[in-house]
Structure 1
Amino acid sequence: MGKITGFIEFLRETRHERDPKNRINDWEDYTLPISEEKVKEQGARCMDCGIPTCHMGTNLNGLTSGCPVYHLIPEWNDLVYQGQWKEALERELKMNNFPEFTGIACPAPCEGSCVLGINEPPVAIRTVERAIIEKGFAEGWVTPEPPKTRTGKKVAVVGSGPAGLACADQLNKVGHNVTVFERDDRPGGLLTYGIPEMKLPYRIVERRINLLIEEQITFVTNMEIGKDYPVNKLREDFDAVVLCCGALKPRSLPVETGGDFKGVHFAMEFLHANTKSLLDSNHKDGNYISASGKDVIVIGGGDTGTDCIATSIRHQCRSLVQFDIYGKRPETRAEDNPWPQWPVIHRIEYGQKEAAAFFGKDPRAYAIMTTKFVGDENGHVKEVHTINVETQFDQNGHKIRKQIPGTEKVWPAQLVLIAIGFTGPEQILLQQFGVETDEYSNAKAEYGKFGTNIEGVFAAGDIRRGQSLIVWAINEGRGAARECDRYLMGTTELP
């Protein structure tokens, strides 16, 4: 696919980033598109692989390799190179309902398994993906396509994140009447309130929601199932229910505190409040957790921690440190991390770049464990105590954190943001439905079938598999829609 010698002639080029020193003063998209000609060159770098591995999503060594929605990547790369953008859009949408979301918020495991990436920078797949869908919207090729006929069956989708939206979209395509319930005031789930505005602008989420509404999907916001709408009534009112509520129970930090101090928050509490206040009033209502003028500690080295960094900088915090319990990753793949596994390497993400521009250095502290919070006389956090650790594994593969004596340190902090992931879905709704859970507290439903122990109730996305990637959520939403359609109609044409 692409140009036979494209990977030799053209260097990898992704969407450009705005100058960090400038972009930290606003909440606009921190990236800029490259020209169509440059996008075509990136499509040309696709190598006509004998066996492409970019589009076959699987788990290798505990991490995702390739694309879980089985994107037809070589095909649309070639079509873009040939200038056949509309045909590329058709191929892109065949497997992925929302390439505008994955083209922004997905870590691109497809690029990690790109054959070119064995010894050269991989194809800029995510950049091409986003360029195709944005051109589709700009040219008016993406239009509402409501079903021509209706089945008369009613389905409730609980949760409007990527799994719920994908499920609703697929079920609507085959003519079911779909209602999506969202307990927040805006649809989108973590797409809206879990990813900051400068990374995934809400106008992009809203654009897709509006399209789904035009396709006759009903969205009901400010409606918490089990609280505002009884579970028994929901089951009576609908022929089937698909639970796509995510895994929102935050992982707590086992440290000595001596009390619950003010100023210590979970990352999602911080990010959700910030985005809501921004969208509601451009922060004029003051209903958010401000990092302004504070010494901020972000505990957690992943993407959510990075989002907390970028948000805190825009609040104009006084200082900023990000704790990573792991040591600094290598610059290139280690011997035990071969292609096509996801490359576990050192990366400098947008938030770290902004911190370096604002404070003059990368904000991360590696191989560090939080041991204690200390508060002031008013019950507000003032210090974080840490010690350096070495991560080891026992004979069963379990992680052991070995503390290194003499590395204790005290950090000033008036705001601590805990971004170390989630432990599973909230249990109240599952209990109200009577849905069985697995050993990880997730809804128990076999992958590929998605049915729970309760007839007519399905589960998909993070509520079923635990915290995962946006592409896995879309994969599962599509799969649950297929099986829900089969349950309702006896057969299905959904993929």
Structure 2
Amino acid sequence: MGKATGFMEFERVEETYEAPVKRLHHYKEFVAVLTDAEAKVQGARCMDCGIPFCNSGCPVNNIIPDFNDLVFRDDWKNALEVLQSTNNFPEFTGRICPAPCESACTLAINSEAVGIKSIEHAIIDKGWENGWVTPQPPKFKTGKTVAIVGGGPAGMAAAQQLARVGHDVTVFEKNDRVGGLLRYGIPDFKMEKWLIDRRVEQMQAEGVKFETGVFVGREALSSEVKNYSTRTISPEQLMKDFDAVVITGGAEQPRDLPVPGRELAGIHYALELLIPQNKEVAGDFKNEIRATDKYVVVIGGGDTGSDCVGTSNRHGATKVTQFELLPQPPEVENTLLEWPYWPTKLRTSSSHVEGCERDWSVATKRFEGKNGKVEKLIGVRLEWKNGKMSEVPDSEFEIKADLVLLAMGFVSPVQHVLDAFGVEKDARGNAKATVDGKKAYQTNVSKVFAAGDMRRGQSLVVWAIREGRDCAHVVDEYLMGSSDLP
């Protein structure tokens, strides 16, 4: 490493945030990228640790020590080349990835981890600003055709990789814009959507075709058609027209809360708020679900719940309360027990800082209201022992709730597409396909592959990119007999 003692000399410096009082009045990003000087110092903190666990902690296996060192040496262009060798979309992950690489950092054993995510963010932003990120069209065309079903990060990654080796790739997306849950599930204040549009333009220059407003399946099976798409194409048609088909849709089937009063108006799945809100920010139409002047209860303590908190605060909610079924995690992780794996610890997001009352070990018993509209939530305290929960006697309570948002995760991809193709599913309702051996990512249906949430279930954007890349290698090998793709 360029600065062998850097980790002993320099402190970790975080990216700075715009103050909540200002950022609550808009939906733009509010995180300031590190300056060149700050990034150089942070790169210097990377240890010459011998075994870089950060590489394996990163789902796309970013070559992290190398680009850290290059940033320290002010060699930004080569740092970008190293970063792009493993990650198609660092501007996505540099903003919204939870950074499991930092949890695996050797320095994190007894100090603060290297700021890997902030360095990645700085590298890719500088690359775009300087015109170093350019289309990479193929040197020759193979004459092979590939259909990608789903325009989210897994589909985009697979499409870009396959187009760069000369295949004719068409991405079919049910929405009117590409990006999947990256565009419609993640609020603009976390990642502005022009970043996706910029990548789409690059991919089009590389030969990728995008067909939006197209639902792949059978209209009789799906209300998705009338909700999203302007036309439908059958799986049989795709399999006739293309040499390979890759299904990469996101996990969009939300987990429900079947308790008395669930049918009351004012109780919504998280995406019923988040998708229309992103469409409103894009100028499509006004979001009909409003948290303005309301008592909002968010059920679920993950990232989606946090997104609901941030959106509700921007609407001007009177109060936002977030409940989590599980116990409150410790504020500091048990490093000796959990390193280099993702630790169990309390995580406070920027949305929580903007205003939110959080509570743990709470179960919802029922909702109550008048005239068909929810007015309050009846909850109960839980006690956890040996991984099992039980209700605390006489702990039932009620809380005012004008708007309830269910953010308890996603159980599976929407089943219509898999059923239409006749793809065999696993016990969780995902496409059944292994990641090992010669049949990796292949389904039981000839020339049909599956990747991303469609195969592994609800996961991170960085895992979607990883699966899209790996699946592209397998598809290229399937079509050509061998593959030079990583």
Superposition TM-score, scaled by structure 2 size: 0.95
Partner of 2:47: 47
- Deviation of residue 148 (structure 1)? 2.1
CA offset digits 1:59-104 (Å, max 9, x no partner): xxxxxxx101110000000000000000000000001111111111
Paired with 1:225 and 1:389, the residues of 2 have a C-alpha distance of: 44
Paired with 2:260 and 2:337, the residues of 1 have a C-alpha distance of: 36
Paired with 1:471 and 1:183, the residues of 2 have a C-alpha distance of: 22
Q: What residue ranges of structure 2 are gaps of 5+ in the alignment? A: 220-231
Do 1:436 and 1:444's aligned partners in 2 also have CA atoms closer than 8 Å? yes
Do 2:413 and 2:453's aligned partners in 1 also have CA atoms closer than 8 Å? yes
Aligned runs of 1:466-477 on 2, under 5 Å?
Answer: 466-477=457-468
- Deviation of residue 30 (structure 1)? 1.9
The secondary structure found in structure 1 opposite 2:95 is helix
Aligned runs of 1:30-179 on 2, under 5 Å?
Answer: 30-56=30-56, 66-179=57-170
Partner of 2:278: 275
Structure 1 residue 240 corresponds to structure 2 residue 244: yes
- Deviation of residue 34 (structure 1)? 2.2
Paired with 1:129 and 1:110, the residues of 2 have a C-alpha distance of: 11
Kindly tell me: are residues 109 and 2 of structure 1, through their superposed partners in 2, closer, same or farther at Cα, counting changes over 3 Å?
farther
Paired with 1:326 and 1:2, the residues of 2 have a C-alpha distance of: 44
- Deviation of residue 286 (structure 1)? 2.5
Paired with 2:240 and 2:296, the residues of 1 have a C-alpha distance of: 49
After superposing on structure 2, the runs of 4+ consecutive aligned residues of structure 1 that deviate more than 6 Å are none
Do 1:324 and 1:366's aligned partners in 2 also have CA atoms closer than 8 Å? yes
Do 2:335 and 2:343's aligned partners in 1 also have CA atoms closer than 8 Å? no
- Deviation of residue 336 (structure 1)? 8.0
CA offset digits 1:145-202 (Å, max 9, x no partner): 2112111111000111111111001101110000011101110001100100000111
Paired with 2:343 and 2:7, the residues of 1 have a C-alpha distance of: 20
Partner of 2:222: none
Paired with 1:373 and 1:2, the residues of 2 have a C-alpha distance of: 60
- Deviation of residue 288 (structure 1)? 3.5
- Deviation of residue 293 (structure 1)? 1.1
Paired with 2:288 and 2:155, the residues of 1 have a C-alpha distance of: 27
Partner of 2:226: none
Measured on the aligned residues, the alpha-carbon RMSD in Å equals: 1.2
Do 1:2 and 1:46's aligned partners in 2 also have CA atoms closer than 8 Å? no
Aligned residues: 470
Kindly tell me: are residues 335 and 279 of structure 1, through their superposed partners in 2, closer, same or farther at Cα, counting changes over 3 Å?
closer
The secondary structure found in structure 2 opposite 1:450 is coil
2:25 maps to a residue whose letter is N
Partner of 2:310: 310
Paired with 2:211 and 2:283, the residues of 1 have a C-alpha distance of: 19
Partner of 2:475: 484
Do 1:2 and 1:47's aligned partners in 2 also have CA atoms closer than 8 Å? no
Do 1:2 and 1:45's aligned partners in 2 also have CA atoms closer than 8 Å? no
Partner of 1:383: 376
Paired with 2:272 and 2:178, the residues of 1 have a C-alpha distance of: 17
Task: Name whichever of 199-208 and 309-318 sits farther off.
Answer: 199-208
Partner of 1:433: 421
Partner of 1:219: 210
Partner of 2:404: 416
Do 2:324 and 2:359's aligned partners in 1 also have CA atoms closer than 8 Å? yes
Paired with 1:92 and 1:81, the residues of 2 have a C-alpha distance of: 15
The secondary structure found in structure 2 opposite 1:391 is strand
Superposition TM-score, scaled by structure 1 size: 0.93
Partner of 1:8: 8
Partner of 2:351: 351
Do 1:2 and 1:43's aligned partners in 2 also have CA atoms closer than 8 Å? no
Partner of 2:227: none
The secondary structure found in structure 1 opposite 2:338 is coil
Do 1:2 and 1:77's aligned partners in 2 also have CA atoms closer than 8 Å? no
Paired with 2:335 and 2:84, the residues of 1 have a C-alpha distance of: 37
- Deviation of residue 335 (structure 1)? 7.2
Do 2:40 and 2:71's aligned partners in 1 also have CA atoms closer than 8 Å? yes
- Deviation of residue 315 (structure 1)? 0.3
Do 2:276 and 2:286's aligned partners in 1 also have CA atoms closer than 8 Å? no
- Deviation of residue 256 (structure 1)? 2.0
Task: Name whichever of 72-81 and 484-493 sits farther off.
Answer: 484-493
